[in-house]
Every structure is written in structure tokens, then in C-alpha cells.
Structure 1
């Protein structure tokens, strides 16, 4: 995600950091609020990571993808939010050029990893409901771990290439700003890879998922299910419930992602004076990293039980990883 993208022909315009326009008390409140949001993001996602990593019962393909998403959300809270929010409060980049490069790389990395992880979640649920027998035989936690690792490596190579190999940040100094000089072709490719293609896939697959789930519900209500098939019925119901819960996660994710990319598409390249609107719209995407653990806490019983075991320190008991949290 390029928070501030400019055509290389525009150059780096002279910019001076504005003086503080609010009182000291308001200034302190803004920083306290920013710190609270970042801390909530870090703690919430850390609890998700501990839960999925510690309890062996949670080592399922779907939860491994949730773990990957939580790790990227944790990076947002640790590295991205403090720099981004301080830049908004100060109305100026005060962290220097080296931190600007680091900020851009981490921001692009967590953005692409998050989007493609949500795409993998959609693929996982589609396969689980459409081909349940093939899914149970072929899609193991190991397979999902490999897919997740490939996602992180691909995103790292892509973003490193996007930011540094194609000429961005070369001989560029903008005191008071953290900007990237991206040509229109690179911006279009980035838009396709990070937003249009994965989001289109997500929408198509989840449309199929909910159609399939509705058909399953109708079929189950129409049939008299015998005791011999009760196990399959429970399993099928579990898959549908997982699809619905993950659908909530996907919907909120897309809702938070849209404002940034709408601004990115609508604002012309030559209106550099409006790029602050793109910067501001990115806050919705970053807040998604704060919202995700709240969604888990509200809708996922396994996360609620895990939190209870963590806060009561029962995770330190012998064989606590084998406890039932489902």
C-alpha cells in the first residue's frame, strides 16, 4: 500500500513542517489515543497468536490462516501504526528517510500478505464446502503452512522489487514527507496484484460459499437424517458455521480496505495536493488489524475459551496444549 504516491515527473516539492495548531493538552490526548489503539492491536493479535499456536486442537487449516493474518496485524500494531499515527498528529514526517523506507516496506508487506491471506481463507472455505472429501484428504495443516509461507515470501519479493528495483526512492529526499515516486504502469500493476485480482477472487468464491451453504441447509431440512449419518451432519454443520464466521471477517476486511483504494482510483495523479486524503483513508485499513481480534472474541467460542485459559494462567499447566477449547 503506497500511502503517498506521486509521478516521478512531479519531483519533490519544497515542504516545511507546520507549527503545532492545537493546545498541548489536545496534543497529549491524541498521542495517548494513538498509543492505546496500537497497544490494543498488539495485545489482541498476540492473544490470537498464542491461542492458535499453543492449543493443538486449533491447529486446523482455517486457523493457520487466521494465525498468518494475526501475525500481519501484529506487525501493523508494532511498526506501522506508531509511525503512521505520529505522522498524522504532527502533519509531518519526523522519523527520517531511513525509517521512511522501512515504513514503506513493512506497510506494503503487511498489506499484500493480509489481502492474499484473506484470499486463501476464501479458497479454503470454498474447497471445504464444495469438495469435503477431497479437502479432508488433501488439505492438511502442513499444506496450508506451505501456502502461507509462499504467500509471505512472494509478498516480500514483490514489494522489495516494487519499492527498490524499479527506481522508487532513488535519489529522493523530501524533508517532512514520506513519499514514494511511482510511475503509472507500476501503480496499475500494484493495484491489480494487491487489490483487484485478490478481492475479485474473494467476492466470487464467497458468493459460491454462501450459495452452497444455503443449499446444504435446505437439503438437511428436507431429509430425515438417520443416526448413521449424524456424524457427517455435525461435520457439515461445522463447516458451514466456519464459513459464515469467516465470511464476517472477510466482509469487515473488504469494508475497511475499500476507502483507501477508492481514493487511490478516484484522485488524479496530478493532484498531489489531495494525496493527504489517501493517507487519511488508510486509517480504516489499519484499524482492521484492531477489529479482527474483537471479531474473534465476539464470534469464536474457541477464542473465548482460550482467553479464559490464558488469563487464568492455566496455559502454564502440564499438557495444557492438549486441553479442549472447541
Structure 2
């Protein structure tokens, strides 16, 4: 008798006075504090790091180029992840309860998916931009203009928002899984169960742009290698000034492509575990343990915090821009025309 009655007395609920409340399985104090610190640091870095990227590009006129506008828009998507997704997911992951209401759960899930695909679309367009820039750097300014960049940015925002809103606000994502969805979404829960069809669509939507980026960047580095060998063989002696200019432009574009290639690789590494786990889970009967799922989710979230660190490591202009912003020089009238590049091409 005592054995049967003790578990219910020790059972914790998300809402003690509410019938149908989810069971609460929180971490002990030390791991709980550590997780809040780790997840919170990621959210803070995603917010303030990407805010620095956006501020730098919008403030300094030297950075007003199609590529940098795409990078700024990508940073906006990552900033939105840090503001609208990560803080609430942090509470859910650590407390194992959702305290923000059912309506906001749907909105949160919609934002989560939309901003992920927005980042993916931005990176895909950036890879196309870099492909054109490296393949023919002198013709590039006439092909990939600011107007083209704006169209790419609009597509990168509108399509993900329409897709995610249509899927999660119509409820088609859990067709055939209604009983399981109802069981998981007790009061205080925010678990989205997606059926096989939509999981497959999501995976292909991730895989196809990723393959496009891999092909484009592979070609970019082959072209860059060929250009480097050509410059090395000519030795730079007796070249016309136009050839010297082309070589310097090509070198600059290759450096930019290399940095953005690292950004793409970081995105793929961050999101691939979650994409594979979602696919396996849907076709294997949702067998993934909760802690594995949380690890995959937060690896994906942390991608939004990684990009500013990559820029800080590989972009000298971003380092200079940060110093100007943090030191307060950004408020001077002449700061927007400052030279952020050590080399002029």
C-alpha cells in the first residue's frame, strides 16, 4: 500500500491545482543553474552579437553592398531567434514545463521554424552571390545589385513565414497523430508532433538548399584555387594595371567567400543532427530520448550565436566596427564614412 501511494505524493506537476497538468521533471539545483547559464549565454550572444552585425552594416556606408545587406538580414533572423525563441525554449528545456500559454506555444513554434528557414534561404542566396563574385569579380557588380539583394531578402523572409504559418496555424502538421499530440500537450506542455509527410518535406527543404550550397562552394574553391595558381605562375611581373586590379579584386572576393563558407559549414553542422533526428523519430515511432532531442535542438539554436563569433574572427571590418560602436565613436557625425578596410581595391 505504501509503495503504491508514495509516487503520487512525490509527483510534481507544472500546475498543481489544474486537472490534466503535465508532470514536471526539473533538474536538481546545480545542473539547473548550469543549464540556465549555458542557454542564457547563447541567447544573450545571439541577441547582442547579431545586433552588432546589423548596426555595423547599416551605419557604415562602406558596408552598404548587396553581400553585406544579405549578411545583415541573416543577422536579423538570428537576432529574432535570440529574442523570440531561445529564452522561452530555455525555460521549457530546464523546467520541463511550458508556462506561456497554448496560443504562444503555436506562435513560438511558428517563429522557430520560420527563422530557421529564413537563415537557410539567406545562406543559399549568399552562396549564389559569392559564386558570381568569385567566378567573374569584374562583372559581378552589374549582376548582383542592391535591387537583386532586396528581392533575395524579401524571398528569404516571406516564404518561410508563409510556410510556417500555413503548417502550424492550420494544424495539418499532426494529421493522423491527433491522439499522440493530445497526450503530449497536457496543460503546461508545448510539444509539437509532426507526421511523416511534413517531416519529409522539412528534411528535403533543408537538404536541397544545403546541397546547392555545397555544390556552389565546391565550385567557388576550385575557381579560387585556379585563380591563385594563375597569379602565382605569372608572378605579377610586367602585368598591366587592369590585370593587377582584377587579381586584387579576385583575392578580396575569395577571402569573403572563405569566411561565408565557414558560416555555411557551421550552419550545416548545427542543424544536421536535429534534421536527422526529426526524420528518424517520425519514421521510427518517436523513440528519441528527451535529453537527446534537447541537445539537437540547442545545437541548432546555438548556430544563431555562432555567426557573430565567426565574423569577429575572420572579418577585420567587423572588429573595427565593434570598437567604434563600443567606444561611442559611432555617435560622431563622421563615423559613418570611416574606412573599415585595410586594403582598398
TM superposition score normalised by structure 1: 0.89
Deviations 1:51-110 (A, max 9, x none): 011001001122111111110110111111111111110122232211211110110111
The answer as to 2:279 corresponding to 1:265 is yes
Residue 278 of structure 1 and its aligned partner are, at CA, apart by: 3.0
Write the distance in 2 (CA, Å) between the matches of 1:96 and 1:40. 26
Residue 142 of structure 1 and its aligned partner are, at CA, apart by: 2.4
Write the distance in 2 (CA, Å) between the matches of 1:108 and 1:289. 13
1:284 aligns with: 299
Write the distance in 2 (CA, Å) between the matches of 1:145 and 1:62. 10
Write the distance in 1 (CA, Å) between the matches of 2:174 and 2:88. 18
* 1:255 pairs with one of 248, 258, 269: 269
The answer as to 2:241 corresponding to 1:230 is no
Residue 20 of structure 1 and its aligned partner are, at CA, apart by: 3.5
Write the distance in 1 (CA, Å) between the matches of 2:271 and 2:40. 22
Q: Structure 2 regions of 5+ residues with no counterpart?
A: 1-19
For residue 23 of structure 2, give the secondary structure of its aligned residue in structure 1: coil
Write the distance in 1 (CA, Å) between the matches of 2:284 and 2:317. 50
For residue 139 of structure 2, give the secondary structure of its aligned residue in structure 1: helix
2:220 aligns with: 209
Where do residues 25-174 of structure 1 align in structure 2 (5 Å cutoff)?
Answer: 26-165=31-170, 167-168=172-173, 174=185
Q: What RMSD over aligned residues (CA atoms) do the two structures have, in Å?
A: 2.1
Residue 289 of structure 1 and its aligned partner are, at CA, apart by: 0.9
Bigger radius of gyration among the two: 2
Q: In 2, are the aligned partners of 1:129 and 1:209 still within 8 Å (CA)?
A: yes
For residue 295 of structure 2, give the secondary structure of its aligned residue in structure 1: helix
Q: In 1, are the aligned partners of 2:195 and 2:282 still within 8 Å (CA)?
A: no
Write the distance in 1 (CA, Å) between the matches of 2:161 and 2:150. 17
2:6 aligns with: none
Write the distance in 2 (CA, Å) between the matches of 1:81 and 1:221. 48
Write the distance in 1 (CA, Å) between the matches of 2:152 and 2:26. 47
Residue 34 of structure 1 and its aligned partner are, at CA, apart by: 3.0
Instruction: Identify which of structures 1 and 2 has the higher relative contact order when contacts are C-alpha pairs closer than 8 Å and 6+ apart.
Output: 1
Write the distance in 2 (CA, Å) between the matches of 1:315 and 1:27. 39
Deviations 1:238-268 (A, max 9, x none): 1111111111111111111111112123334
Residue 269 of structure 1 and its aligned partner are, at CA, apart by: 3.5
* 1:241 pairs with one of 238, 249, 255: 255
Residue 230 of structure 1 and its aligned partner are, at CA, apart by: 1.8
Report how many residues are paired.
Answer: 311
Write the distance in 2 (CA, Å) between the matches of 1:151 and 1:26. 38
